[in-house]
Structure 1
């Protein structure tokens, strides 16, 4: 599910900024972008995010500004610069040069050095960082909750559409066994006219086989899956994670519809099966956004 949450916390001259972005993903995948001295907080930050979000591809950006900045700083080695300048002046006197381009000194080795951030500075701002992460997570969740409400309504509409097509399937279901048995008996009768077999026993076998072509059980299980789907969507409105369970129910729905399609032997049923499977696929795509 998509979402965005940000936070800024300031204390003295220190400013902590967090941006947390989320896009659709079947599982939880979290990427951190933060100053190296704060990487020791990686597990704590991930645990904080996981406590609020269980699904989605998330990117967290952390910035630190101020006097306690944990970013590397450039240091000018003035003692080295003074030696270069003095040497340049002495060289000018000896060779009689009138001027010296002092900007060249900036490119000489040892003039600048990079100082890594102080670990103590990182420790001092640790509480601020974790507080900022927590606040960004809460704001992300709020945004995702709003989107989730809209998504829930869309899923319920699709479930209702499936239920309407299921009603038409149920009307046709009683005729499936009857039509199949009639066709089977006609074939058997034609066979018996040309061969000698126990007709009563064969007709009993036909009846049993025709019973196996009935789709009543599959229809009942589909009703159960749709009912459970609605129940889980109600739970999702209370911020309970239900995405994985919805995934499973959709797999079961597809299995039932495949069985009905193979048993149906009816143009009407085949048409409804194709339509329902199309609606189930729409459900599957949307459920990837549900936590």
Structure 2
């Protein structure tokens, strides 16, 4: 399975003899699957079925589903007036009209256009046929969203791959600067000793022993090796069905090695490389959060 982005968008449209449907599915970042889907009143009994569809096809993220359903004919069923809601609107408008001295003669006709005041009661057979259309249209929208996620995921993968390659190049640069770094450390220690105790008081044997101890303590060979291994492990898993969480854990391990390398650097050129590696790693961490 290809690498997939957590964000995405998909839409689809369909129609039958009675209605036309447009479904839009939007996915955003999220640790868990959170579904926000609302069906028109006539189909609210099907909401559980819709949620099961989304749960079977989606994994993590915040998923929002929107439907635009239009009747093709005014004679698709019997009309039903929500009298309680209509009275509420009428009383409010009449009271406001009295306060403002406005004409409210056409208020009732306008109220009929308000949401949920006038609805069509579908016949059971027609309702089921319409629901099948809504369901299949939503399925197509989800499939289109998944295609979008894969395309976006490949773009994210290429970007992260480039970041990892940049980090590896910086490790190669650090390796090339290692002889200069060791010379810098030796020179700095020698200068400090000469400054504080004088050249004539330096015990050369003791100096060499302390220098070896310090160089061992400041050695970054293991960090370089582990960082290169983590980089390769990241690339090996990047286009597999590993998931963003696994890539995130690998990135954390890369960060530990980079930070340790920076703490032991003792060389301006190596510190510059460490800064560059940290910048690239931050890009990776941001992009990993958007991977399923």
TM beyond 0.5: yes
Q: Deviations over 1:197-230 (max 9, x none)?
A: x996786465334212111111112111211221
Contact 2:25 2:66 survives alignment (8 Å): yes
Please give the secondary structure, in 1, of the residue aligned with 2:239: helix
* Residue 161 (1) aligns with residue 157 (2): no
Which moves more between the two structures, 113-122 or 139-148?
A: 113-122
* Residue 264 (1) aligns with residue 254 (2): no
Counterparts in 2 of 1:163 and 1:33: CA distance versus 1, 3 Å: same
Contact 1:26 1:55 survives alignment (8 Å): yes
Give the C-alpha shift of residue 35 in structure 1: 2.3
Q: Deviations over 1:38-96 (max 9, x none)?
A: 445445434433444434443211244448x9xx964398xxxxxxxxxxxxxxxxxxx
Q: Report the TM-score when normalising by structure 1.
A: 0.68
Q: Deviations over 1:219-274 (max 9, x none)?
A: 11211121122122232xxxx35222222222222222111111101101111111
Which has the bigger relative contact order, CA under 8 A and spacing at least 6? 2
Counterparts in 2 of 1:268 and 1:106: CA distance versus 1, 3 Å: closer
> 1:114-133 to 2 correspondence within 5 Å?
126-133=131-138
Structure-1 residue corresponding to 2:10? 5
Structure-2 residue corresponding to 1:287? 288
Give the C-alpha shift of residue 150 in structure 1: 2.8
* Residue 225 (1) aligns with residue 225 (2): no
Contact 2:38 2:47 survives alignment (8 Å): no
Counterparts in 2 of 1:105 and 1:259: CA distance versus 1, 3 Å: closer
Cα distance between partner residues in 2 of 1:217 and 1:105: 80
Structure 2, gaps ≥5 residues long: 84-104, 110-116
Structure-2 residue corresponding to 1:212? 217
Cα distance between partner residues in 1 of 2:211 and 2:273: 27
Structure 1, gaps ≥5 residues long: 78-102, 108-112
Cα distance between partner residues in 2 of 1:73 and 1:209: 88
Cα distance between partner residues in 1 of 2:250 and 2:107: 71
Please give the secondary structure, in 2, of the residue aligned with 1:7: strand
Give the C-alpha shift of residue 129 in structure 1: 3.8
Q: How many residues align?
A: 257
> 1:86-165 to 2 correspondence within 5 Å?
106=108, 126-165=131-170
Q: Give the structure with higher Rg (CA).
A: 1
- The one of 32, 40, 45 equivalent to 1:35 is 40
Q: Report the TM-score when normalising by structure 2.
A: 0.68
Structure-2 residue corresponding to 1:273? 274
Cα distance between partner residues in 2 of 1:142 and 1:105: 48
Counterparts in 2 of 1:209 and 1:45: CA distance versus 1, 3 Å: farther
Cα distance between partner residues in 2 of 1:223 and 1:261: 15
What root-mean-square deviation, in Å, do the aligned CA atoms of Structure 1 and Structure 2 show?
Answer: 4.3
- The one of 71, 75, 81 equivalent to 1:75 is 81
